[in-house]
Amino acid sequence: MLDKTSSQTQARATGPLAGYRIVEFAGIGPGPFACMLLADMGAEVITLDRIGAKKNMKSVAGRGRKVIELDLKDKAAIAEVLDLLANADALIEGFRPGVMERLGLGPDVVRARNPKLVYGRMTGWGQDGPLAQAAGHDINYISITGALAAIGTKEKPVPPLNLVGDFGGGALYLVVGVLAALLEASKSGQGQVVDAAMCDGAASLMSMFFDLTAMGRWREGRDRNFLDGGAHFYGVYECSCGHFISIGSIEPQFYALLRQRAGLSEDCYNAQMDPKAWPDLKQKLVETFKSKTREDWCQIMEGTDICFAPVLTMSEAPQHPHMAARGVFVERHGVTQPAPAPRFSRTPSNIREPEVVEIGALVEAWKSAR
């Protein structure tokens, strides 16, 4: 693991978004993560947060921000926010539908002063629909898309952390939407509202599985398809040491190498793509992989075309030779965290130090720079 606290975090914005100004209304989950990605890529992200919020500035998702503490119930503060937004490129908020309008900061008001502004809205259910005003969390948003029902054991669905709704279907789709709108605004001179709903994004992530279902290659349920744990050649297995390994030997040539390296010479393994044979073959592999330690299997399989990897914990992952060689994790303020991604050849991303700023001074600085 690389310690880039002194070099990377102190660097000036050099990413591909350097020069873009984004105003973030503080929230939780996907909004802050989306803004972390934008800040890593060089955007100047200004977080508007409640008074006293600077104590949270050194969180991983809050890195790289300039923070302004203010009371959004104060009309004078709202006027200053409008002045700030008049010179911003994008706004990101994650409140329930209607909250920004009640504050006097809805899209119509803000874009009347800055027609080119991209207005990013992050919610779970979306800006409209029967559930738009209901509370919810990641697990609920992915429940109505078909995603949660497809993930887990045969007995019941298992929440995939909050990766599918909050971050995959939420933050990443918000970032894509905001960046697409910024590109379009650079041509048309007009901004627009980006309605990024986690249920929309999670449904979009399921596209391939709706396609496979239509082709007759995917059955509803869990632990019965080739990517959900049903197939013996694509799954997780426990080793004799109590640790786990993963294999994904889908293609025939990769499966053949798995058989060679694991000593799977019996004819029954010829039925790779026969779902009826999978339960028995999976049980055989359970016994096979329990015969050696995770380290033993790494020595036998890692780096080959088997499609193999050890299942590492978050404390183990930074120490893996591949992850360490690429500097996938960095240390900042004593906290191990993922480095910026993706990587750019000419305008590399970096992590910058957060700082508290005064809104009046920033408004004047942005005005003079236009």
Does a structural domain hold residue 228?
no
Q: Are residues 90 and 202 in the same domain?
A: yes
Q: Are residues 240 and 105 in the same domain?
A: no
Q: Check if the beta carbon of residue 84 is closer than 8 Å to that of residue 362.
A: yes
Q: Are residues 197 and 311 in the same domain?
A: no
Eight-class DSSP state of 353: -
Q: Are residues 152 and 297 in the same domain?
A: no
Q: Check if the beta carbon of residue 277 is closer than 8 Å to that of residue 271.
A: yes
3-state secondary structure 186-252: HHHCCCCEEEEEHHHHHHHHCHHHHHHHHCCCCCCCCCCCCCCCCCCCEEEEECCCCCEEEEECCCH
Q: Are residues 86 and 200 in the same domain?
A: yes
**Exposed/middle/buried for 96, CB within 10 Å: 0-12, 13-18, 19+?**
middle
pLDDT of 179-198, one tens digit each? 999 999 999 999 999 999 99
d(CA 93, CA 70): 16
Q: Of 61-65, 124-128, 212-216, 291-295, which range is least confident?
A: 61-65
Closest to 150 measured CA to CA, from 205, 78, 197: 205
Residue 9, pLDDT > 50, answer: no
Confidence (pLDDT) at 323: 98
Residue 7, pLDDT > 80, answer: no
Options 137, 223, 243, 296, the catalytic residue: 137
Does a structural domain hold residue 224?
no
Residue 262, pLDDT > 60, answer: yes
Could you give the angle at the alpha carbon of 265 between the alpha carbons of 261 and 266, nearest 5°? Answer: 145
Confidence (pLDDT) at 54: 65
Does a structural domain hold residue 125?
yes
Return the number of other C-beta atoms located less than 10 Å from residue 172's C-beta: 18
Q: Are residues 85 and 111 in the same domain?
A: yes
Does a structural domain hold residue 14?
no
- Give the pLDDT band of residue 369 (cuts 50, 70, 90): confident
- Give the pLDDT band of residue 57 (cuts 50, 70, 90): low
- Residue range 130-134: mean pLDDT, rounded: 97
Q: Write out the residue range of the structural domain in which residue 256 sits.
A: 234-323
Q: For residue 253, what is the domain's CATH number?
A: 3.30.1540.10
Q: Are residues 313 and 335 in the same domain?
A: no
Options 40, 49, 166, 228, the catalytic residue: 166
Q: Of 53-67, 86-100, 208-222, 325-339, which range is least confident?
A: 53-67
**Exposed/middle/buried for 250, CB within 10 Å: 0-12, 13-18, 19+?**
middle
Does a structural domain hold residue 226?
no
Q: CA separation (Å) from 284 to 234, 240, 302? A: 14, 15, 21
Q: Check if the beta carbon of residue 201 is closer than 8 Å to that of residue 164.
A: no
Q: Are residues 168 and 43 in the same domain?
A: yes
- Percentage of the chain with pLDDT > 70? 96
Q: Are residues 197 and 242 in the same domain?
A: no
Provide the sign of the torsion angle of the four alpha carbons 279, 282, 284, 286, taken in this order. negative
Helix locations, 223-341, DSSP H: 252-262, 278-289, 294-301, 321-326
Closest to 245 measured CA to CA, from 204, 291, 214: 291
Residue that is last in its domain, among 323, 341, 356: 323
251 contact partners, CB below 8 Å, separation of at least 6: none
Indicate the number of domains in the chain: 2
Q: Are residues 69 and 125 in the same domain?
A: yes
Q: Are residues 299 and 349 in the same domain?
A: no
Quick one: the chain helix, strand, coil %, rounded to 5?
40, 15, 45
Q: Are residues 64 and 201 in the same domain?
A: yes
Q: What is the dihedral of CA 319, 324, 328, 332, to 10 degrees?
A: 70
Asked about 137 being catalytic, the answer comes back as yes
Does a structural domain hold residue 9?
no
Closest to 105 measured CA to CA, from 87, 124, 123, 83: 83
d(CA 138, CA 190): 32
Does a structural domain hold residue 314?
yes
pLDDT of 317-348, one tens digit each? 999 999 999 999 999 989 999 999 999 999 99
- Give the pLDDT band of residue 358 (cuts 50, 70, 90): very high
Asked about 89 being catalytic, the answer comes back as no
Q: For residue 125, what is the domain's CATH number?
A: 3.40.50.10540
Residue 2, pLDDT > 80, answer: no
Confidence (pLDDT) at 3: 43
